[in-house]
Amino acid sequence: MSLVPVYRRRASALHAARAGVSASFCLALAFAPILFDNPIVLGALLCAVIAAGIGAGVARELRRWAAIAFGLALLVVIVNPLVTSDGLTVLVRGGSFLGRRWDITLEATIYGAVAALRVLDVVLAFALLSAAVDPDELLRALRRVSYRSALTAALTTRLVPVLARDASRKSEAARCRPRPPGRSTVARAAVAGSLERAVELAAALEVRGYSRARRPQVARRPWSRHDFRVLASAVAIAGLAVVAKLAGAGGFQAYPTTHVSAGPAQAAVAVAFVALAAAPFLGAAGRLGVARA
């Protein structure tokens, strides 16, 4: 199994829709949490991504990304109360240092947790994108806008698993040495190895006519029901996020005391996000996916 979760074709509405549309759906799920601080809404958005992941058959990949993202989220939870002493409820008095007080407050800790939840939302939305959107198709579309950037991105998506395997082999070889070297030495060698790979790939690209590359022609493809359903969900999620934000449905006050708006408006927004994320996968039309695409 690959160390880094990668795209695999599966029978789901998200895989069957054109890459640009599927990417829009995932980006809408990544965009929404950026607008909100309210933990109810952020929690609902996490549920929405997970629901979409289950619907797309990539729950396993999301779980592996979640394991990676959890460390980052934990760091945010720990660091925020250390760098912010705002809030009235002091949990630990840290005294004065460098001209300021280093108290740990309940409010800063809660806000750290909220920020961590947002990090999880965004990372998992991008994980959904990497697991359910064909990178080749997406990058082919992007090549029409910026050829070299798109090809660089294509190479990156291709090279990540290759370099992960290279690093794993180097680490195994290090264990075979009578005096195994430190991790940093192996990591440095892996980086140097990746540069060699890059040079070889550059040569391979040259002999494939890269220097004379023209903008690829557009392939006309009729819009399928999956394209419509997924795009409608994407637009609805992004639209709901903007409207709810403007309407103040995501109310949250971190300091000086924590106040979470938790009324019918927040509940409605939360339920709507989950329902919209799950919508493309519901019903017979949503399940048939690849077979009729």
Partner 1 sequence: MPEPILAAAGFTYTYPDAPAPALADIDLELEPGSLTVLAGESGSGKSTLLRAACGLVPHFHGGEASGELSVGGLDVRDNGPGELSQVCGTLFQEPESQVVMGGVRAEIALGLEHRGESPAAVARAVEEAALALGIAHLLSRRADTLSGGELQRVALAAAMAHRPRLLLLDEPTSQLDPVAGDELIWMLRRLNEEWGTTIVLSEHRLERCLPAADRVLALDRGRLACDAPPSEFLAWAAEARPVLATPAARLFSLAGLRPLPASVKEAKKTLGVSGLGGRVSEPASTRRRKRGQAALELRSVWHEIADGPAILRGVDLRVEAGELVALMGRNGAGKSTLLKHAKGLLEPTRGSIKASGEVALLLQNPGDYLIHEHAREEAGERALLGAGLQGRGEADPRDLSGGERQRLALEVVLSGEEPPAVVCLDEPTRGMDRARKEALALRLHELAAGGAAVIVATHDPEFAARLADRVLLMGEGELIADGSTAEVLAGGWYFATEVARVLGGAGGALTPEQGAAVLERELVS
Comparing CB distances to partner 1, the nearer of 86 and 136 is: 136
Cis, peptide link before residue 256, omega less than 30° from 0: yes
Which one of residues 96, 212, 284, 291 is an interface residue with partner 1 (CB under 8 A)?
212
Distance between CA atoms of 236 and 223, rounded to whole angstroms? 19
Distance between CA atoms of 31 and 245, rounded to whole angstroms? 12
Binding segment for partner 1 (CB under 8 A), chosen from 11-19, 55-63, 161-169, 242-250, is: 161-169
Distance between CA atoms of 107 and 209, rounded to whole angstroms? 58
Under rule CB under 8 A, which residues in 12-41 are in contact with partner 1?
Answer: none
Helix (H, G, I), strand (E, B) or coil at 90: strand
Tokens, residue 238 = 């992004």
Distance between CA atoms of 242 and 28, rounded to whole angstroms? 11
Under rule CB under 8 A, which residues in 117-156 are in contact with partner 1?
Answer: 134-137, 140, 143, 151, 154-155
Least Å distance, CB 160 to partner 1, is 9
- 115 and 82 in contact (C-beta within 8 Å)? no
Least Å distance, CB 246 to partner 1, is 39
Which one of residues 5, 7, 37, 230 is an interface residue with partner 1 (CB under 8 A)?
7
- Which residues would be at the binding site for partner 1 (CB under 8 A)? 2, 6-9, 134-137, 140, 143, 151, 154-155, 157-158, 161-162, 169-170, 172-178, 181, 185-186, 188-189, 192-193, 196-197, 200-220
